[in-house]
C-alpha cells in the first residue's frame, strides 16, 4: 500500500498509464482525476508551459482529497526559426479544434523555405506538482531535434511524424514508442520528479 496518492490532472487513462510507468518504483499510488469526480474545466490561458501546468494543478487541488498530491503537465513544440512557436499553442496551432494533421501541415508550410540546418526545435514538458501542504514545484524536460521536410511514420501522435530527435535520422513517427519513451521530454521531466519523490 502506497503512503501517498499522486493525482494526475487528466481524465485520459492512457496518460495516467504512461505516468504510472514513468514513475514506477516510488511510494505513490498514481491516480486519475476521476477520483475527484473528474478534471475540472480550465482555461489554459498562461503564456508559458509552467503557467498552464500550474493552472491545471491548482484547479485539481481545489477538489482533491485532503493529504493528496496533485500533478499536471503541459508540453509542446518550440521551433527556433519560428521564434519558439507553436509553443503553448502546439495543440491548437491550426485553430481551436485543429487535428494533429492540420497542425503538422501548417507547421511544414511555415517552414517551407527554411533549410534543414535551420529547422532546429525541441519538445518541452513542464510538470507542476503540489504536495499535501500546498507547496508548488516544477520539473522541466526537453528533447532536442529538427523538423523534417515532410511527415514520415505513423507511430505516436501530434508532431511526432515530423520531429527527428538528435542522434537519429528518423522521426519519432518512425522510431516507435519504445525509443520515444527513452528520449521524450515527458520522460526526462518525469525522471527528475521521480528522483525527488524517491527521497520521501
Q: Which residues are catalytic?
A: 74
Specify the DSSP element, H or E, that contains 145.
Answer: strand 136-147
Cα 188 to Cα 18: distance, rounded to the nearest angstrom? 13
Q: d(Cα 14, Cα 17) in Å, to the nearest integer?
A: 5
**DSSP-assigned letters across all residues of 72-131:** EEEEEEEEGGGTT-BGGGGGGTT-TT--HHHHHHHHHHHTTTS-GGG-EEEEEEEEEEE-
Q: How far apart are CA 174 and CA 162, in angstroms?
A: 9
Amino acid at each position: 500500500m502506497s503512503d501517498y496518492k499522486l493525482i494526475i490532472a487528466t481524465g485520459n487513462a492512457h496518460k495516467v498509464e504512461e505516468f504510472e510507468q514513468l514513475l514506477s518504483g516510488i511510494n505513490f499510488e498514481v491516480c486519475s482525476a476521476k477520483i475527484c469526480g473528474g478534471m475540472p474545466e480550465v482555461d489554459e490561458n498562461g503564456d508559458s508551459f509552467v503557467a498552464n501546468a500550474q493552472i491545471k494543478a491548482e484547479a485539481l487541488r481545489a477538489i482533491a482529497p485532503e493529504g493528496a498530491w496533485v500533478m499536471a503537465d503541459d508540453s509542446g513544440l518550440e521551433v527556433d526559426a519560428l521564434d519558439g512557436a507553436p509553443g503553448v499553442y502546439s495543440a491548437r496551432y491550426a485553430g481551436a479544434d485543429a487535428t494533429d494533421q492540420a497542425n503538422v501541415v501548417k507547421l511544414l508550410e511555415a517552414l517551407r523555405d527554411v533549410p534543414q540546418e535551420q529547422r532546429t526545435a525541441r519538445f518541452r514538458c513542464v510538470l507542476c506538482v503540489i504536495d499535501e501542504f500546498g507547496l508548488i514545484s516544477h520539473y522541466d524536460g526537453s528533447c532536442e531535434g529538427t523538423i523534417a521536410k515532410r511527415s514520415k511514420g505513423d507511430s505516436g501522435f501530434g508532431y511526432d511524424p515530423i520531429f527527428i530527435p538528435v542522434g537519429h535520422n528518423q522521426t519519432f513517427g518512425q522510431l516507435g514508442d519504445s525509443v520515444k519513451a527513452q528520449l521524450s521530454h515527458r520522460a526526462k521531466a518525469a525522471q527528475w520528479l521521480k528522483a525527488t519523490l524517491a527521497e520521501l
